[in-house]
């Protein structure tokens, strides 16, 4: 009768409709007659269908109604395509410009309402319950035999005159397959790219783009429209970039997909960034820190005030590092507030603010407001302008610990980037405690790792660093468990500490080259040096580190 009989039986037992003895007797009859326990209880008259549906309706706050098929206007059938109605086991009974009311007979199928909101362009969907016979009667009236030949509406984005059953259902399945395959392959991005003669699909796996089997070009418009529906993006708008979000659960894992559309010559290009909430459980060691750098970074994130910056290009793992840091210091006696654009992961115990520039809530405005909330720790998604930078520095000087990111090539350059924004050097010197630069490199698959002896060309590129490396290194030869010899990614880091000497240099407007030179003298390990230590340990390959640190001359 329902998709979760065990839960229904538990509710009926708690409400007093059935006793333990009656449940046991029905269970025995079920084994003899090959029926469910709930079916036996209803067939024997122990409980009625009204009892079952009424109990579930009360539990979920859904109306339980009697539906007269004759009273339903046939025009309402146009609200939901026949195959969609049958897929979700619902029938429309009432509609207006903003909402649709549907009737269903399985109270445990209420989750289908959320899926319908995607199909119906984000319109509000209300559900009511009714006996199965009444729902079937409504379905038979609204969608008689042959009703599947209703053509797809042109304004739904699937744009065509094929029957809904011929076109839409395969597109829905294909989009689901694109998402599920990407997640299974641990892709970080899905790229849907309209080309002149093909519709290209690529996954970014461990930082490298990998071309997948392309869907037929004729399905390009339908697939892009389906993704836009799922993302709650305007389907009719194809002239400007748009952003949206999809939330899915795959194999018990909650995933968020950040969706971005950009118009191109041959159609809209869509990129979906997969945000795996399991990454929130990553600790600092899992990010790739060596023990000494980890101890140093942990010291900074446990300070009571100051600014700690994480720098690097887009896609270098800055947000993951900050979330890992916040997770480590997220304690009951501390109030943590973040300002993000967008909020990538929902973190328990942390107050997260979403930037909304349409209503004037940018980073600076949000930061001014949250400081009145008396937080201990503030995380700013990115310092993009002088106003946000000034407020962050002042917050640090008034007893707050502030985390944020900057787009710079190395750690010392974060200082000059702030002063170039217009922040006074004395504020930077007094507020900033440390800057962490990072890159991501692919990790060698442990299943197919093998020794590798560098060539003369490799040694020449390494320069003086080659003298401190072992004579052999490692590469992955490739196996069914990895992607071309690599599996997963790790960080390489450069930690720049602002001590008294560095403070005086900042006061004197010293350029980043001087700051970097002084930091090296104090023992700062560069990105390339950190990477080479990880090459020596067998964590990653020489090629990966060289590619990630092309601009590192040290």
Per-residue pLDDT at 207: 87
Per-residue pLDDT at 530: 93
Per-residue pLDDT at 379: 96
Greatest mean pLDDT range, 166-175, 234-243, 409-418: 409-418
Per-residue pLDDT at 111: 52
Mutual angle of helices 220-230 and 164-184, in 10-degree steps: 70
pLDDT of 19 strictly over 80: yes
Per-residue pLDDT at 4: 59
What is the pTM (predicted TM-score) of this model?
0.64
The band of 273, judged by pLDDT with boundaries at 50, 70 and 90, is: very high
DSSP per-residue letters across 412-446: THHHHHHHHHT--HHHHHHHEEEEEEEEEEEEEPT
Rounded to 10 degrees, what is the CA torsion of 412, 417, 422, 427?
-30
**Per-residue pLDDT averaged across 78-88, rounded?**
78
The band of 107, judged by pLDDT with boundaries at 50, 70 and 90, is: low
- Asked whether the beta carbons of 381 and 284 are under 8 A apart, the reply is no
Per-residue pLDDT at 172: 78
d(CA 207, CA 220): 25
d(CA 91, CA 81): 10
Per-residue pLDDT at 247: 82
- Asked whether the beta carbons of 102 and 109 are under 8 A apart, the reply is no
Q: Over the stretch 350-389, which tens digit does the pLDDT of each residue have? A: 999 999 888 889 999 999 999 999 999 999 999 999 999 9
**Per-residue pLDDT averaged across 12-41, rounded?**
78
| Choice among 233-237, 407-411, 524-528 with the minimum mean pLDDT | 233-237
Cα–chain center distance at 464: 42
pLDDT of 221 strictly over 80: yes
Average predicted confidence (pLDDT) for the chain? 84
E strands along 229-345, which residues? 242-250, 253-264, 267-276, 306-311, 336-340
Q: Over the stretch 472-521, which tens digit does the pLDDT of each residue have? A: 888 899 998 888 899 999 999 999 999 999 999 999 999 999 999 999 99
Cis peptide before 342 (omega within 30 of 0): yes
Per-residue pLDDT at 404: 96
**Per-residue pLDDT averaged across 546-551, rounded?**
83
Q: Please work out, in degrees rounded to the nearest 5, the angle formed at the alpha carbon of residue 224 by the alpha carbons of 256 and 90.
A: 75
**Per-residue pLDDT averaged across 194-206, rounded?**
93
**Per-residue pLDDT averaged across 237-248, rounded?**
89
Residue 514, SS3 per DSSP: helix
pLDDT of 23 strictly over 50: yes
**Closest to 499 (Cα-Cα) out of 294, 301, 306:** 306
């Amino acid at each position: 009768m329902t998709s979760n009989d065990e839960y229904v039986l538990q509710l009926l037992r708690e409400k007093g409709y059935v006793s333990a003895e009656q449940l046991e007797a029905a269970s025995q009859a079920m084994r003899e007659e090959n029926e469910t326990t709930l079916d036996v209880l209803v067939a024997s008259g122990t409980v009625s269908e009204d009892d079952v549906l009424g109990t579930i309706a009360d539990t979920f706050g859904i109306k339980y109604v009697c539906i007269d098929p004759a009273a339903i206007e046939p025009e309402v059938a146009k609200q939901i395509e026949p195959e969609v109605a049958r897929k979700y086991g619902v029938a429309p009974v009432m509609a207006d410009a903003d909402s649709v009311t549907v009737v269903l007979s399985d109270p445990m199928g209420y989750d289908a309402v959320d899926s319908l909101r995607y199909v119906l362009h984000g319109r509000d969907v209300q559900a009511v319950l009714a006996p199965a016979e009444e729902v079937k009667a409504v379905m038979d009236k609204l969608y008689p035999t042959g009703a599947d030949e209703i053509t797809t509406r042109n304004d739904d984005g699937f744009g065509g005159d094929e029957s809904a059953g011929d076109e839409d259902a395969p597109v829905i399945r294909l989009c689901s397959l694109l998402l599920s395959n990407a997640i299974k392959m641990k892709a970080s991005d899905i790229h849907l790219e309209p080309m002149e003669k093909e519709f290209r699909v690529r996954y970014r796996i461990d930082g490298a783009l990998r071309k997948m089997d392309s869907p037929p070009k004729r399905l390009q418009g339908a697939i892009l429209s389906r993704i836009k529906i799922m993302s709650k993006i305007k389907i009719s708008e194809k002239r400007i970039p748009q952003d949206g979000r999809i939330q899915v659960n795959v194999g018990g894992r909650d995933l968020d997909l950040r969706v971005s559309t950009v118009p191109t010559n041959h159609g809209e290009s869509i990129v979906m960034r997969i945000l795996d909430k399991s990454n929130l459980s990553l600790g600092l060691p899992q990010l790739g820190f060596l023990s000494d750098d980890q101890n140093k970074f942990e010291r900074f994130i446990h300070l009571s005030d100051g600014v700690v910056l994480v720098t690097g290009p887009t896609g270098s793992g800055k947000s993951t590092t900050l979330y890992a840091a916040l997770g480590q210091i997220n304690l009951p006696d501390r109030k943590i507030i973040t300002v993000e654009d967008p909020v990538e992961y929902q973190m328990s115990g942390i107050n997260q603010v979403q930037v909304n520039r349409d209503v004037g809530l940018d980073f600076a405005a949000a930061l001014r407001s949250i400081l009145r909330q008396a937080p201990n720790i503030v995380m700013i998604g990115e310092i993009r302008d002088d106003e946000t930078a000034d407020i962050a520095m002042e917050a640090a000087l008034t007893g707050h610990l502030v985390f944020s990111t900057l787009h710079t090539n190395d750690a010392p350059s974060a200082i000059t980037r702030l002063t170039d924004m217009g922040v006074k050097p004395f504020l930077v010197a007094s507020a900033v405690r440390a800057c962490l630069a990072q890159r991501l490199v692919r990790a060698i698959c442990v299943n197919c790792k093998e020794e590798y002896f560098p060539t003369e060309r490799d040694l020449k590129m390494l320069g003086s660093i080659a003298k401190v490396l072992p004579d052999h290194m490692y590469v992955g030869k490739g196996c069914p468990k990895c992607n071309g010899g690599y599996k997963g990614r790790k960080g390489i880091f450069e930690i720049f500490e602002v001590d008294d000497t560095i403070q005086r240099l900042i006061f004197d407007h010293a350029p980043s080259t001087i700051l970097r030179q002084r930091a090296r003298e104090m023992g700062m390990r560069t990105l390339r040096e950190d990477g080479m230590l990880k090459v020596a340990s067998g964590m990653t390959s020489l090629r990966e580190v060289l590619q990630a640190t092309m601009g590192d001359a040290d």
